[in-house]
C-alpha cells in the first residue's frame, strides 16, 4: 500500500523525535519515498545527518539552504506529497497548525499541503489533556486531518498517562489502512445534495434555514478522496470545493435542486441526500420588494416543494443505493424509521437537535445509522469529517 507513496515526514521538538528514525526505516522498507521537514527545536532531539542518511534525502528545515541560498519551496513540497505525517507533533506545533502561524518551514509546508495530513501528538499527560490542546486537535480534525491518538504509559516527565506518541509500526499500519481505503470507491458515481435551499419571497427576501452545508461537503470530499466521481448539488453556502473528483452544481431553490437531482440520478451508483430542503415555498414571488404599508400582520401562502429523496426513491433501480438524513427534535427514532420507509432509502443518518454538538452550525455531529434491514448503529460525538467517514464506510459496504 505504501509502495512509491511520497511522504512528507514533519518532525517537531519532542523526545519522541528519536522514534522518527524507526518510522523512516519502516516507511522506506514498505517502498515509500520520505522527505523529512524538521523544526529548529526538532533538531535538538535528532540530528539531520541521521535523518538524511535514513531517508536518503537532504533534510529540509530552513526556508533557504545555508550553503547556496537555494529557496526551498514549501508550495512545491506540499503539492509533491501523497500524504503528510507530523510525528512527533508537539503541543506548540499543533497550536501553530490549528491557527496558521507559519513561522517555520514545517508549518508553511502544512499550510500549502493538498494531500491528507496525519498528526501523531507526543507530549506530557497534562499538556495533552489541556482544553487548549484538545481544542486545537479538534480544529485539525475539522480541517479533515487525521489524529493518531497517543497511547498511555510512562512519559518523559516520569508521569504516567496519555501522551506517548504511537509506536512507529502502528503509525505505518494506520497509513496503510488509509491508502487501502482510498480506492474503494474507484469509478463509483455518487450524487450528494448539501446545504439549505432559499425560497424567494421577493427580490430581497427568502425562506431559508440554518444548514451550513459542512456535513454534505465533508461527505463529498471523503467520497472523492476514496476515488469516487462526485456530483455535488449545493444550495447557497459559503464553502469552497477543491478536490478534482467533485463536480459542483450550485442551486438556490428546492425546485432547482430537484431538477438537477432528477436529471443526474439515473447515472449514479448512489445518492446521499444531505440537503436541508425547504418543504414549502411562497405560492407567488413578488416582483417588487414588498412594502410594510402599516399592516399589523400579513399572510404568506406557501405551496409544497417536491420531496427529492422520495422522488429518487421511486426512480431507484436495483443496485442503486439511496441514503438520507433525519434531523429531529423529538421522537427521533420513530420519525427516522418513517422517513427511511416512506422515501425508500437504504439507510438514514439520524441526528438529534437535542444532542449537544450535533446538527446545524457546529463542527461536530453525533449520529445513528438506521438501515432498511433493521440494523441500528450509534456513533460517538465526532468531527463532521470523521462522521462523514463513518457514513461513507456504511455506503461502501452496501455498494460492494
Ligand atoms: N429531503 C429531500 N427533499 C425534500 C425534503 C427532504 O430530499 N423536499 C430529504 C433530506 O435531504 C433528508 C430527508 O429527505 O435526506 C429527510 O429530510 P427532512 O426534512 O428531515 O424530512 P421531511 O420529509 O421534510 O420531514 P419533516 O420536515 O416533516 O421532518
- Residue 383 included in any domain: yes
Q: Looking at the structure, tell me whether residues 318 and 351 fall in a common domain.
A: yes
Q: Best of 273, 280, 346 to mutate for ligand 1, by most ligand atoms within 8 A of CB? A: 273
- Residue 237 included in any domain: yes
Centre of ligand 1 from the C-alpha of residue 392, in Å: 20
Q: Looking at the structure, tell me whether residues 25 and 113 fall in a common domain.
A: yes
- Residue 45 included in any domain: yes
Confidence label for 66 from pLDDT (cuts 50, 70 and 90): low
Q: What is the pLDDT of residues 319-329, one digit of tens each?
A: 999 999 998 88
Q: Best of 192, 265, 279, 340 to mutate for ligand 1, by most ligand atoms within 8 A of CB? A: 279
Tell me how far apart the alpha carbons of residues 194 and 192 are, in angstroms, rounded to a whole number. 6
Q: Looking at the structure, tell me whether residues 253 and 106 fall in a common domain.
A: no
Q: Looking at the structure, tell me whether residues 89 and 225 fall in a common domain.
A: no
**What does the pLDDT average to over 257-278?**
98
CATH number of the domain within which 89 lies = 3.40.50.1950
- Residue 372 included in any domain: yes
Q: Looking at the structure, tell me whether residues 376 and 344 fall in a common domain.
A: yes
CATH number of the domain within which 269 lies = 3.40.50.10300
| Residue whose CA is at the smallest distance from ligand 1 atom 23 | 339
Q: Best of 216, 253, 324 to mutate for ligand 1, by most ligand atoms within 8 A of CB? A: 324
Place of cell 433493521: 374
Confidence label for 20 from pLDDT (cuts 50, 70 and 90): very high
Region of 311 on the Ramachandran plot (φ > 0 left; ψ -120 to 50 alpha; else beta): alpha
- Residue 1 included in any domain: no
Q: What is the pLDDT of residues 156-166, one digit of tens each?
A: 878 888 999 99
DSSP result, 88-122:
EE-HHHHHHHHHT---SHHHHHHHH--S-EEEEE-
> For residue 342, which atom of ligand 1 is closest to its CA?
23
> For residue 348, which atom of ligand 1 is closest to its CA?
15
Write down the pLDDT at residue 385: 82
Confidence label for 69 from pLDDT (cuts 50, 70 and 90): low
Write down the pLDDT at residue 357: 73
Tell me how far apart the alpha carbons of residues 89 and 100 are, in angstroms, rounded to a whole number. 15
Quote the number of domains for the chain. 2
Q: Looking at the structure, tell me whether residues 205 and 323 fall in a common domain.
A: yes
| Residue whose CA is at the smallest distance from ligand 1 atom 4 | 307
Q: Looking at the structure, tell me whether residues 190 and 163 fall in a common domain.
A: no
Confidence label for 334 from pLDDT (cuts 50, 70 and 90): very high
Please state, for a pLDDT cut of 70, what percent of the chain lies above it: 97
Q: Looking at the structure, tell me whether residues 47 and 195 fall in a common domain.
A: no
Q: Looking at the structure, tell me whether residues 204 and 108 fall in a common domain.
A: no
Confidence label for 383 from pLDDT (cuts 50, 70 and 90): confident
Q: What is the mean pLDDT of the chain?
A: 93
Range of the domain at 242: 185-399
Write down the pLDDT at residue 322: 98
| Residue whose CA is at the smallest distance from ligand 1 atom 21 | 326
317: how many CB neighbours lie within 10 A of its CB?
8
Report whether pLDDT(67) > 60.
no
Centre of ligand 1 from the C-alpha of residue 277, in Å: 6
DSSP result, 139-197:
HHHHTTPEE---EEEE-TTS-EEEEEPPPHHHHHHHHHHHHHHHTTTTT-EEEEEESB-
Measured from CB, residues less than 6 Å from any atom of ligand 1 are 193, 254, 273, 275, 277, 279, 305, 307-309, 324-327, 339
Task: Kindly calculate the radius of gyration of the chain based on its CA atoms and give it in whole angstroms.
Answer: 24
Centre of ligand 1 from the C-alpha of residue 361, in Å: 18
- Residue 325 included in any domain: yes
| Residue whose CA is at the smallest distance from ligand 1 atom 8 | 307
Q: Looking at the structure, tell me whether residues 205 and 56 fall in a common domain.
A: no
47: how many CB neighbours lie within 10 A of its CB?
13
Active site residues: 209
Write down the pLDDT at residue 68: 58
Q: What is the pLDDT of residues 196-208, one digit of tens each?
A: 999 999 999 999 9
Out of 183, 216, 236, a domain closes at 183
Write down the pLDDT at residue 94: 98
Out of 119, 149, 183, a domain closes at 183
28 close to 55: Cβ distance less than 8 angstroms: yes
Q: What is the pTM of this model?
A: 0.75
> For residue 335, which atom of ligand 1 is closest to its CA?
29
**What does the pLDDT average to over 214-242?**
94
Q: Looking at the structure, tell me whether residues 128 and 89 fall in a common domain.
A: yes
Out of 183, 205, 227, a domain closes at 183
Q: Looking at the structure, tell me whether residues 268 and 247 fall in a common domain.
A: yes
Amino acid at each position: 500500500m505504501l509502495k512509491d507513496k511520497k511522504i512528507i515526514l514533519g518532525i517537531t521538538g519532542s523526545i519522541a523525535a528519536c522514534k522518527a528514525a524507526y518510522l523512516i526505516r519502516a516507511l522506506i522498507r514498505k517502498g515509500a519515498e520520505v522527505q523529512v521537514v524538521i523544526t529548529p527545536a526538532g533538531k535538538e532531539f535528532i540530528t539531520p545527518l541521521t535523518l538524511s542518511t535514513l531517508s536518503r534525502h537532504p533534510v529540509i528545515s530552513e526556508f533557504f539552504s545555508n550553503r547556496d541560498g537555494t529557496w526551498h519551496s514549501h508550495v512545491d513540497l506540499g503539492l509533491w506529497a501523497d500524504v503528510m505525517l507530523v510525528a512527533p507533533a508537539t503541543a506548540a506545533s499543533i497550536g501553530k497548525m490549528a491557527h496558521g502561524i507559519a513561522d517555520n518551514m514545517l508549518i508553511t509546508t502544512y499550510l500549502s499541503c493538498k494531500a491528507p495530513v496525519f498528526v501523531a501528538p507526543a507530549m506530557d499527560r497534562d499538556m495533552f489533556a489541556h482544553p487548549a490542546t484538545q481544542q486545537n486537535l479538534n480544529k485539525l480534525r475539522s480541517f479533515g486531518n487525521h489524529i493518531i491518538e497517543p497511547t498511555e504509559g510512562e512519559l518523559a516527565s516520569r508521569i504516567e498517562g496519555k501522551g506517548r506518541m504511537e509506536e512507529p509500526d502502528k503509525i505505518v499500519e494506520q497509513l496503510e489502512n488509509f491508502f487501502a481505503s482510498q480506492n474503494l470507491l474507484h469509478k463509483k458515481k455518487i450524487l450528494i445534495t448539501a446545504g439549505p435551499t432559499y425560497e424567494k419571497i421577493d427580490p430581497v427576501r427568502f425562506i431559508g434555514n440554518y444548514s451550513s452545508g459542512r456535513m454534505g461537503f465533508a461527505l463529498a470530499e471523503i467520497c472523492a478522496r476514496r476515488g469516487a466521481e462526485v456530483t455535488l448539488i449545493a444550495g447557497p453556502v459559503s464553502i469552497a470545493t477543491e478536490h478534482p473528483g467533485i463536480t459542483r452544481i450550485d442551486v438556490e431553490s428546492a425546485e432547482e435542486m430537484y431538477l438537477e437531482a432528477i436529471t443526474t440520478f439515473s447515472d449514479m451508483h448512489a445518492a446521499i441526500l444531505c440537503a436541508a430542503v425547504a418543504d414549502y415555498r411562497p405560492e407567488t414571488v413578488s416582483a417588487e420588494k414588498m412594502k410594510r404599508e402599516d399592516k399589523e400582520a400579513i399572510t404568506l401562502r406557501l405551496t409544497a416543494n417536491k420531496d427529492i429523496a422520495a422522488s429518487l426513491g421511486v426512480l431507484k433501480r436495483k443496485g442503486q443505493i439511496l441514503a438520507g438524513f433525519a434531523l429531529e427534535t423529538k421522537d427521533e427514532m420513530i420519525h427516522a424509521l418513517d422517513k427511511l420507509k416512506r422515501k425508500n432509502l437504504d439507510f438514514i443518518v439520524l441526528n438529534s437537535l437535542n444532542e449537544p454538538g450535533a446538527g446545524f452550525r457546529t463542527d461536530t455531529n453525533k449520529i445513528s445509522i438506521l438501515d432498511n434491514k433493521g440494523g441500528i448503529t450509534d456513533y460517538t460525538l465526532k468531527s463532521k469529517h470523521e462522521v462523514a467517514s463513518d457514513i461513507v464506510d456504511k455506503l461502501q459496504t452496501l455498494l460492494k
